[in-house]
Structure 1
Amino acid sequence: MSGFGGIKVLIVEDEGFVALLIENMLQDLGCEIVASVAGLKEASTVAAAEEIDLAVLDINLGGERSFPVAEVLRERGVPFLFSTGYGSAGLPAEFSGCQVLGKPFSAKALEEALRRALGCHPDPTA
C-alpha cells in the first residue's frame, strides 16, 4: 500500500507519451489525476482554479518554462515537484530547494519524490 489514495495530482508535461507514463504510474499509486496538460497557459489556469494536492511539472514546455505555474502553486500552498531531463542545475534560485525528479525515472523514484514533496514518511514496508 503506497498511501497515496485520493491524492489529486496535476500533471504538466508536453510530451504525450511521457505524460501517459506519469499518469499510469500515479494511478498505480492510487492518485487521482485532476488534469494532464501540455501548455503553460492551460497549466496556469488549472493550477489557479482546481483542487490539487500535488503537481508534477515538466520544466520545459515547448520552449516555455513552467516556473509561473510553480509560483501559482506555491502561492496556493500546493506542493509540487519538477520533472526534467536537465537536473536541478536549470532551476532559478527561488526554486532551488524544490524536489527535482530526473528523467527518465522509475515508478519507485516517482513514489519517493512524491513522499518527499508531500512530507510523508518513507513506507516501512517498501
Structure 2
Amino acid sequence: MRFTKDHEWVRLDGDVATVGITGYAAEQLGDVVFVEVPDVGKSVKAGDGFAVVESVKAASDVYAPVAGEVVEANGELSGAPETVNADPTGAGWFAKLKVSDPSEVDALMDQSAYDAYLATL
C-alpha cells in the first residue's frame, strides 16, 4: 500500500490500483454522511479530484494518486457512506483505476514514510 500527502491510499494489483482515503483522513473528517464516486470510464490524471466525500464537518475532494481510467467504482458507499469511517482501507475504497504508468505508484510514500509524515502534522 502507498500513500499521498493528501491522505489517499493506493493498493496496486497488476495494473489496477484500488484507491481510498486513509484512516487519518477519515478520522479528521468525522462521520462521513455522503460519498460521490467517479463514473466508470472516466480518465483521470494524478492530482485530479475524482470523488467527493462529505462529513458532518466538511466536504472534501478525493484526488487521484495516479493517472488512469476508472474501471470500477464502489457503489456500495452511496447507501452506506459510514463504511469509509468503519473500514477506510478495506471496504471503504472509492474506485479502481487501470493505471497508465504503474511506476507512478512507486513514487508515492510507503507505510513508514507516511507514518513519518503524519508525525509532522
**TM-score greater than 0.5 by the shorter chain:** no
Of Structure 1 and Structure 2, the greater strand share is in 2
Of Structure 1 and Structure 2, the greater helix share is in 1
TM-score bucket (shorter structure): under 0.3
**Per chain length, whose mean CA-contact separation is higher, i.e. which structure has more relative contact order (CA < 8 Å, sep 6+)?**
2
TM-score, normalised relative to structure 2: 0.27
TM-score, normalised relative to structure 1: 0.26
